[in-house]
Structure 1
Amino acid sequence: MRSIRENTTQTTCDCEDCTSYALTAHLRRSDDQAALHHQALAQDGWTDVEGRDYCPGCPTGQSVAGHDHTGAWVATEA
């Protein structure tokens, strides 16, 4: 789900069991802010399927049982 407000742009994962979201704050709203927000999400692994957004832990090619709602966000050692 996408929400564009005066000072924030937020995308929430549309997978029913997932609470992941991405939030970008800005000083004032502009058309470019939302576009930059969604470009950054795509670079981070978020996918857009027919207007529904999914975080990297919820790949659209797998059943919900195969999703990793918390593991995608755990820091790993290099």
Structure 2
Amino acid sequence: MRSTREATTQTICDCDDCLAYKLTVHIQRTATTQQAAKHHEEAAVEGWTDLEGRDYCPGCPPTVPVDGHDHEGLWAVVDDLPAA
């Protein structure tokens, strides 16, 4: 699901078991459609998929059955960081 507001655009993974999201903050005000298009382009580069108006994070490709999705994979990099 994607929502665009005056200063932000957010996409939430449409896979029911996934908590992944992508947030873009718009510092310079432009038209809402321009903001949404830029956000969608950036999401696609990062591996997000838009299939028939539904958005899926890189860990939940729509071509793979739900039991094959990697809901934890997006956070593995953060979890594996050494303690400061």
- Say yes or no: TM over 0.5: yes
Q: For residue 71 of structure 2, what is the aligned residue in structure 1?
A: 69
Q: Which has the higher helix share?
A: 2
- Residue 38 of structure 1 corresponds to 40
* Structure 1 segments unaligned to the other structure (5+ residues): none
Work out the number of aligned pairs and report it. 76
- Work out the CA distance in 2 between the residues paired with 1:72 and 1:21: 10
Which residue number corresponds to residue 19 of structure 1? 19
Alpha carbons 1:5, 1:29 under 8 Å: kept: no
Larger Rg: 2
Q: Distance in 1 between matches of 2:52 and 2:69?
A: 19
Return 3-12 or 30-39, whichever deviates more: 30-39
Q: Which amino acid aligns with 1:20?
A: A
Deviation at 1:71, TM superposition (A): 1.1
User: Deviation of residue 20 (structure 1)?
Assistant: 0.4
TM-score between both structures, scaled by the size of structure 2: 0.82
Q: What is the CA distance between 1:29 and its match in structure 2?
A: 4.4
Specify the code of the residue in structure 1 equivalent to 2:42: A
Task: Name the structure 1 match of 2:5.
Answer: 5
Structure 1 runs of 4+ off > 2 angstroms? 72-76
**Paired-residue identity, %:** 61
Report the RMSD for the aligned CA atoms in angstroms: 1.4
